[in-house]
Structure 1
Amino acid sequence: MDDRTLVARAAAGSEHAFRELYRAYVRPVYWIAYGLLGDSGDAEDVAQETFVTAWRKLRGFELASDSLLPWLTTICRFQAANKVRSRRRDRDHTTDATIPEIAASSDVEQQVIDADLAERIAFAVDGLSPTDRDIFVLCAVEGLSYSAAAETLGIAHGAVRNRLSRIRTRLRTALTETTP
């Protein structure tokens, strides 16, 4: 089933449909969170909160594109920002703020840059064909080998290898064109 169908069913209350969406996107969401936070435990928490928030907000939600990933990325970014604020509050309450202000501001700047990059990648991936998007997710996000991805998708090993090469080139081009 495609994302649009799964989202509609999940919005109507289908836990099975939401579970399918979770399985499809938990790894990309985790890696986005990890990229923003740099801590696996916090990334797991943020990924979990992202899907809890998505489940709560799904009622009445209409998918504007073919993929749920851009919406989940946005939720993930907000959850990661909340986690950063929570860390900062905890640090401020448990220490005497020995970290220099410059380091804190550069951390925030890097998080903004990383979040922007993650959003641009998600947008570029969303523009791929469904097969190319599946190849990208399986190989680049989930780390499957060409053979495993080919078997999962029912296409030739060489097709996966060649298409992934073109996908990466297309994404690099799209990201360099949108870099300010």
Structure 2
Amino acid sequence: MAKVYEGVDDDLAAWVAAQPMWFVATAPLAGDGHVNVSPRGHDSLVVLGPHRVAWVDYTGSGVETIAHLRENGCVCLMFASFDARPRIVRLHGTGTVALPGDAVFDEVTGLLPEHPGTRAVVDVEVTRVSDACGWGVPLMAVTGERDLLRANAEKKGPDGLADYRRTKNATSIDGLPGL
């Protein structure tokens, strides 16, 4: 679940913050490139203002989101309600990537629980919000968070994570620079 900061006090921000899972979509500029859609969860997202959200990006098998954002910045976050009230919200905007040592990285990671797999922070200036019915989204119950990312990061340790990022997160599947 997300957090809401800086006096953002409206129903939409609270609803976004209450969603246990959301999706981020990005794409490269090349027409033959691969669109990427990734599910996100955990306590990784913050609503920082009326037009700003950010999330902690954990070490994973790919680096598409980071690579696409570095190339063109175009991003869409989608939140879908799986409980009683049907709703889909998309936040369209421009995203930037902050790495350890950047002020934005320190700002956002300071607001969220520490996670050993943290590799970057994505900061999004929201330029468009769309709110849809969500009538086709099924009802589902959340039974808990998977702790596999944390366990894997702890098992690898800082040096193992750095090596993994060097070998697996250097470029995207389309050959764009990653980390």
Q: TM-score, normalised by structure 1?
A: 0.27
Higher strand share: 2
Q: TM-score, normalised by structure 2?
A: 0.27
Larger Rg: 1
Higher relative contact order (CA 8 A, sep 6+): 2
Higher helix share: 1
